[in-house]
Amino acid sequence: MDVWITNLQHKVSIETSFIRDVVMSALRIEGHPQPTDVSVALVDDAYIRVLNREYRGVDQPTDVLAFPMEGDGGVRGEPALGDIVISLERAREQARQFNHPIRHEVALLAVHGLLHLLGYEDDTEVGASAMWSKQKELLEKILGTGARERR
């Protein structure tokens, strides 16, 4: 199992090893079979806005996007779950808004994106409730703290 981190922005600093550890811990807790690859791209608001417009038809930045992989597309021929894209600018804003460390916000966004790759959906009230409950459970186990409510 490997988590590939690519930092495509220079506006917000974060330890990429922390993000890797969060994603790998969540995969282990969820009992996801090894080997598998996940890619995480750290971007700015302008970059994620382009992706959000292209793939979701929403012309504004968002905090996290997830793109599940179809088939066996892993870096070393291993199965890949897909790609998570996180706007660190948006994460910094939301961390300030909810008065917690940016590391907590980035962990929340990484877990949220990973849950989408694992098949969770939040486009209905029932789906969102299940996803946020699982997200809170994972963050409590990984960070020792829960997810803030923002639905």
We find that the CATH architecture of domain 2-143 is 3-Layer(aba) Sandwich (3.40)
Q: Determine whether the annotation assigns residue 122 to a binding site.
A: yes
The average pLDDT across 6-11 equals 96
Q: What is the pLDDT of residues 101-125, one digit of tens each?
A: 999 999 999 999 999 999 999 999 9
- Is residue 85 within 8 Å of 64, Cβ to Cβ? yes
The average pLDDT across 1-16 equals 93
Q: How far is the C-alpha of 84 from the C-alpha of 53, rounded, in Å?
A: 16
Q: Determine whether the annotation assigns residue 32 to a binding site.
A: no
Q: Determine whether the annotation assigns residue 100 to a binding site.
A: no
Verdict on whether the full-model pTM lies above 0.95: no
Q: What is the pLDDT of residues 64-77, one digit of tens each?
A: 999 998 765 555 55
Greater model confidence, 73 or 98: 98
What residues does each domain of the chain span?
2-143
Q: How far is the C-alpha of 24 from the C-alpha of 33, rounded, in Å?
A: 12
